Amino acid sequence: MNNKHHKTLVAIFSDPVNGNLEWRKIEALFMALGCEIIEGSGSRVTFLLNGVRADFHRPHPNKEALRYRVLDARAFLNIAGITP
């Protein structure tokens, strides 16, 4: 995990929740952590990390992850044992 990924991880766990975080940065963090990525139909994507599964829809047409997606990403990382 490089410095950019660490900054994204800190942003995910920051309060108040950042609703202006680009989804591609969250996805890059997941990949750096070793997530298995399963592409679904349309914008659906599934991530597997440490035996934990999380389903997301990539944001469109905007590229920012809304607050609820950031909270879902935080919950996924918490359950998988990843914290900043």
Return the amino acid letter for 48: L
Q: Where are the beta strands (DSSP E) in the chain?
A: 21-22, 36-39, 44-49, 52-57, 64-65
Find the farthest-apart pair of alpha carbons in the chain and give their distance in angstroms, rounded. Answer: 33
Report how far residue 1's alpha carbon sits from residue 16's, in angstroms, rounded to the nearest whole number. Answer: 24
User: Mean of the pLDDT values across residues 51-80?
Assistant: 92
pLDDT tops 90 at residue 20: no
Residue range 26-60, pLDDT digits in tens: 999 999 999 999 998 888 999 999 999 999 998 88
pLDDT tops 90 at residue 19: no
Report how far residue 30's alpha carbon sits from residue 76's, in angstroms, rounded to the nearest whole number. Answer: 10
